[in-house]
Structure 1
Amino acid sequence: FRCASEAEAEAWRQAWQATNSSVVDDCRGVLQVYSDGSIVRSKQSGFPLPYEDDGTVVWKDL
């Protein structure tokens, strides 16, 4: 699930929190993992800090 805007993403996060689901891992606001297993990714294109992508992690959006 991807949000069209940061405002929509924030509304989504608040809705999840209202259902007693809590953030169990927050990766600099880019990715949040909730206690019910849901994952919310920010529309932000990357980390605000420089990083080197060595290609060792592969994922697929469904």
Structure 2
Amino acid sequence: MALAPREMDVLACVAAGATNTSAAAALGVRPETVKGYLRSAMRKLGAHTRLEAVVAARRAGLLP
């Protein structure tokens, strides 16, 4: 379940409460790009929602 560095960046923003738009602004990408990274990370983590993805990443020790 290795996540790409950018997927980790997006998850960290989401964990901090960022919307796709604000995460995109912080990372210097488009909101659609954030959605793609988040969708990919969710698939790898077996999550169906943003919250599930953050919880799964924390349980896996990928996020503090």
User: Normalising by structure 1, what TM-score?
Assistant: 0.35
* Larger RCO of the pair (alpha carbons < 8 Å, separation 6+): 2
Larger fraction in helix: 2
Larger fraction in strand: 1
Computing the radius of gyration from Cα coordinates, the structure with the larger value is 1
User: Normalising by structure 2, what TM-score?
Assistant: 0.35
